Structure 1
Amino acid sequence: MKKFFYIASAAMISILALASCAEKEIVTYNPENAVKPVLEAIAESYVLEDGAAFETLNFSAVEYGIATAARYTLYADVNEDFSSKKSLGNVTTDTVGITVTANTLNNALMSLNCKADVPVTVYFRMEAEMMGESAPVGSVEVLVSNAVTSSITPFNAEKVYPAVYVIGQFCGWDHGNTAFLFSYAEDEENYVGVVDFGAECADYGFKLTGAANWDNGNWGTGDMTSAEPEAPSITLWNDGGSGNISNYSSHRYYNFHFVKSSLTLNMIKGFDLVTVAGAFNGWATDATPMEQIRSNGKFYVDIDVDEAGAADGFKFVLDNGGTWLGAGEIEGAEDVGGGNIALEPGQYRFYLDLNDWDNITYSLSTADYGKPVDGGSDTPDEPDEPENPEDPDQPELQENLWGVIGTFAESNWSADIYMTEFPAGSGIWISPVLEFADTTQFKLRFNNDWNTQAGAVAAGDTLRTGIPTVAGFGNNVAQNVGVAKEQVGKRVVVYDAENNQLYLLGWSVIGAISGDSWGHDFPMIFDPEANTWSVSGLSVEGAFKLRWAGQWSTSEVTIPDRGLADGASFAVGTPISLKQGGGDINPGENVGTYNMVYDVANETLTLTAAE
């Protein structure tokens, strides 16, 4: 009887299951039911500005007729058929649009050989891909939106290519000071470039990474990597435990080709000296050496060429005549006889790009002659002495300080605006309040000397408010820094010298803090995901407040600050309610060392005891 019950129960369950399956509708994708995304129109024309915003392009959602995710990619092209389209970004939601910066679009237009300051008709469209668990579904056709057009005027800027980072002892293992290999084909597969290990390098070990960190590719040697010195090719290992690449130590400079998919590193050429030879130096092969700009790998030197010196043209030379590079080796160079490159009298910065050995290029610039290597300013190589030391209007030189120098009226690239290290010995340097325009450009330098300078990693970079960003550091490396349009106005620059990081001051703590009495700001760091500002280890010795950008409100302008809200009081471990213009936050008898977190959305400050 018991056995019969089990059999009957199983039969009933099977019948119910079959009935359930019969009722369940099997949904399949039908391309005829799909609805393409629709891209909204934008303004008829734009003039792009370096460091500024361009536009947020909005669009409607793709409809597949089934529940599935999609990836939306925005493309731009100067050809109506999108035969040379460039990606401007992608998202996986249709609710926020795709925001494009002026620099992103400008870089795409430079890739399409558009001329600076000349309007060009640009076509935009959105492409939607059905997504599987982690990748597009290849069997489903990409759905393409309508195209919208606008007249775009790009600005003059060097093309920025995808790159991998070359990091090693030669750059202090600092991701803010690396060399690069570039994907000139923009296939993000083949990367080429020249690495300068330095004239007196003692440790040639290095690795490659896919970003300015160790989390996006950590390519070094493994068990199967050849240890052959000067090997033509080696296979790398992508692992945190990979070893340093140490095969190449016979030369100062190496031209490498890295193939990302196979992790193959090819050594194209090693050499020790790059010079320029012509009548201007008696065709000497070692008299006019070139230096390398680490950020883009190009070589440069300034030469004042008179009429006699321009006779018979010039050539570039490697290793005292070991290799000559003239019109026969550099495509597009004008041959004036014997392979010599044409040259007219004038003051030039000579540039030579050996990154892609199969496509060597050069250029001569009169505008860059005598300027810093980024070509971004008229800054001198050495600080100017005051014209009249007895003139009280001349700034007094101070030693062993970091200073801001740039297009500010009080600097004009000739005088440092000195920063204050506070607390003393902390390595945190804070500028006075500076007036920023959207065209402002500046750098930092130490002890009034261009040999120690900090700036942007790449030309066109702007500072972030409250978010420390690795700075370009060192002569011939640091680039000019600017600010975004929304940051124009009175701002304070913060430089963390210990970690080589730059940012603009946002929220800070000021008051009876860590031996100070309302005289200096203690910067807070912004977490954009949590929308909070925090600072650690402050000794609270009396009343304090929070304020924005190192300033207080005046009768002409209101500057954000935060103090106690009505009815609120000091507390530890419990959020304290704040408000604009609130009262001093007074610890009373609860003086001590605290970590602080300001929650922007909830207008609260939480203090916890510092360990």
Structure 2
Amino acid sequence: MRVINLPFNFKVEQNMKKLLNYISVLGIALAFTACENDLEKVTYNVESTKAAVLATPATTSYVLESRYSENTAFTLEWTAPDFGYDAIVTTTIDFDLAGNDFANAIQLASVSTATSQEITIGTLNANILTLLRTYGIEEDFSARDFEIRLSSSISEAANPLLSNVLTLNITPYSADIQYPEVYAVGDYSGWGWDTAQSLFSFSEDAVNFEGIIDFGENKGKGFKLTGDTNWDNGNWGLDGSAAAPEAEAPSIQLINDGGSGNIACYSHRYYRFQFNNSTLLLTNNLSFDALFLVGSASGLTWDTSKPENEMQFDPERQRFYIDYTFAANDEIKFLTDNGTWFGGTSDGGLNTQDNIKIATAGSYRIYVNLNNSSNMTYELNDEDYGAE
């Protein structure tokens, strides 16, 4: 057997390494203990604290619209929370359906030193739709009560201070595709954008736009087109130096100018206009004064002789609707007062002259959307029958 004699200094080095390893392990253990102790120490005296106090907004009822998604829905303001000493505070804005004790609360925002926060319409709407899905509620876009509170915290180890609770009544909008749009602003909308209707770029090229406009009782009193809810991004109207357009002109060449004239040569109630914001050509694609439900069902005729069968127009969704009760195998179509027919297929398309057969007897709200000339649609909705 071969014996190897190790030098003395090698043994010392080995012993030192063992000692250093023991010290390292002990140091890590002490560090963890210190961290745990620090978390336990991050606390406050409840008697010396004050939770944030949310101020009630001037308005507590909101109807959200997709066209204003980047605008501010409301601004929350509050007094700063006080933990009794100079602490670093994180405050979250909790948002939930009313009556659920914030069980599935969503954080609208998180701030440190701020005592106010703007909430945009788009952010608010997206979070509402998330909450509805969380609670298994169908997105019917009706008004509901929601609650907001502030949760202020200095550490995960300490209970947060909770503010008072605000209740807001909010009507969301559909999260369907939001097409680029231009606005038809005119006498019918009081020359404002709140009630102005739109032409949409269904191809999403932001060049070609189309849609049904209901001028109501103010037909023929003038309108212009704008690219935004102001006059700074497209102000499209008539060229005053050119010949005035003929009545019911098939198309009009517009100009983009603050001094452009009002378009006042169209005297029907409903128009489907097409607009190209590159060539600035406005085209009158369809015009009429009323749309009727016609067919073989009891109470219907195949003409426009019954005023009670005239469809109403929803200016928010820009679509027609009427409530009606059918028997199985009844057949229907849609007919304008000036003789334009719209028939369809069983899948909801409205681009043929075929009669639409009612498969199941019942009471329905019938929706008709004529905005997109390449994809007109109808819908039979039994849940919306009789709705306000």
1:226 and 1:235 in contact (8 A); partners too: no
- 1:270 corresponds to 2:300: no
2:209 and 2:275 in contact (8 A); partners too: yes
Task: Give the whole-Å Cα distance in 1 for the aligned partners of 2:128 and 2:180.
Answer: 15
1:234 and 1:264 in contact (8 A); partners too: yes
- 1:340 corresponds to 2:355: yes
1:210 and 1:217 in contact (8 A); partners too: yes
CA distances 1:220-243 after superposition (whole Å, capped 9, x unpaired): 111246522221111111111111
Change (3 A) 1:283 1:165: same
What code does the residue aligned with 2:285 have? Answer: I
2:272 and 2:285 in contact (8 A); partners too: yes
Task: Give the whole-Å Cα distance in 1 for the aligned partners of 2:279 and 2:361.
Answer: 48
Change (3 A) 1:289 1:173: same
Task: Give the whole-Å Cα distance in 2 for the aligned partners of 1:219 and 1:361.
Answer: 29
Structure 1: 5+ residue stretches without partners: 1-49, 54-98, 108-115, 118-154, 373-611
- 1:358 corresponds to 2:374: yes
Task: Give the whole-Å Cα distance in 2 for the aligned partners of 1:334 and 1:219.
Answer: 31
Task: Give the whole-Å Cα distance in 1 for the aligned partners of 2:249 and 2:199.
Answer: 18
Partner of 1:159: 177
Structure 2: 5+ residue stretches without partners: 1-63, 70-119, 130-137, 140-172
- 1:220 corresponds to 2:237: yes
Partner of 1:295: 316
What code does the residue aligned with 1:271 have? Answer: F
Partner of 1:209: 226
Please state how far the C-alpha of 1:359 moved relative to its aligned partner: 1.9
The counterpart of 1:311, out of the listed 329, 333, 347, is 329
CA distances 1:170-214 after superposition (whole Å, capped 9, x unpaired): 12212111111111111111110111121x436431101111111
1:329 and 1:360 in contact (8 A); partners too: no
Task: Give the whole-Å Cα distance in 2 for the aligned partners of 1:210 and 1:282.
Answer: 42
CA distances 1:397-447 after superposition (whole Å, capped 9, x unpaired): xxxxxxxxxxxxxxxxxxxxxxxxxxxxxxxxxxxxxxxxxxxxxxxxxxx
Change (3 A) 1:334 1:239: closer
SS at match of 1:170: helix
SS at match of 1:160: coil
Change (3 A) 1:324 1:105: farther
Please state how far the C-alpha of 1:296 moved relative to its aligned partner: 2.6
Partner of 2:384: 368
Task: Give the whole-Å Cα distance in 2 for the aligned partners of 1:363 and 1:272.
Answer: 22
1:194 and 1:253 in contact (8 A); partners too: yes
Please state how far the C-alpha of 1:270 moved relative to its aligned partner: 1.0
Provide the TM-score with structure 1 as the length reference. Answer: 0.33
Change (3 A) 1:329 1:273: farther
CA distances 1:260-316 after superposition (whole Å, capped 9, x unpaired): 1111101101111101112132325333111111123211111122x2xx4332111
CA distances 1:498-538 after superposition (whole Å, capped 9, x unpaired): xxxxxxxxxxxxxxxxxxxxxxxxxxxxxxxxxxxxxxxxx
Task: Give the whole-Å Cα distance in 1 for the aligned partners of 2:345 and 2:323.
Answer: 23
Change (3 A) 1:275 1:185: same
Partner of 2:108: none
CA distances 1:134-185 after superposition (whole Å, capped 9, x unpaired): xxxxxxxxxxxxxxxxxxxxx9744322211111111221211111111111
- 1:178 corresponds to 2:196: yes
Change (3 A) 1:202 1:105: closer
Task: Give the whole-Å Cα distance in 1 for the aligned partners of 2:231 and 2:174.
Answer: 33
Partner of 2:187: 169
- 1:195 corresponds to 2:213: yes
What code does the residue aligned with 1:351 have? Answer: Y
2:219 and 2:269 in contact (8 A); partners too: no
Task: Give the whole-Å Cα distance in 2 for the aligned partners of 1:330 and 1:208.
Answer: 34
CA distances 1:103-139 after superposition (whole Å, capped 9, x unpaired): 57999xxxxxxxx99xxxxxxxxxxxxxxxxxxxxxx
Matches within 5 A, 1:203-602: 203-222=220-239, 223-224=241-242, 226-249=244-267, 251-278=268-295, 279-286=297-304, 287=306, 288-305=309-326, 307=327, 310-319=328-337, 322-327=339-344, 332=349, 339-343=354-358, 344-372=360-388
SS at match of 2:203: coil
2:345 and 2:356 in contact (8 A); partners too: no
2:343 and 2:351 in contact (8 A); partners too: no
Q: How many residues align?
A: 224
Please state how far the C-alpha of 1:331 moved relative to its aligned partner: 6.9
Task: Give the whole-Å Cα distance in 1 for the aligned partners of 2:219 and 2:208.
Answer: 29
Change (3 A) 1:204 1:280: farther
Task: Give the whole-Å Cα distance in 2 for the aligned partners of 1:166 and 1:216.
Answer: 13
**Aligned residues: percent identity?**
43
Question: In angstroms, what is the RMSD of aligned CA positions?
Answer: 3.4
What code does the residue aligned with 1:302 have? Answer: D
Task: Give the whole-Å Cα distance in 2 for the aligned partners of 1:256 and 1:156.
Answer: 24
Change (3 A) 1:225 1:260: farther
CA distances 1:320-362 after superposition (whole Å, capped 9, x unpaired): 6x12211279974699xx8211212112111111112232111
1:180 and 1:193 in contact (8 A); partners too: yes
2:294 and 2:334 in contact (8 A); partners too: yes
Task: Give the whole-Å Cα distance in 2 for the aligned partners of 1:352 and 1:291.
Answer: 10
Matches within 5 A, 1:99-114: 101=123
Task: Give the whole-Å Cα distance in 2 for the aligned partners of 1:242 and 1:301.
Answer: 38
What code does the residue aligned with 1:303 have? Answer: Y
Change (3 A) 1:349 1:282: closer
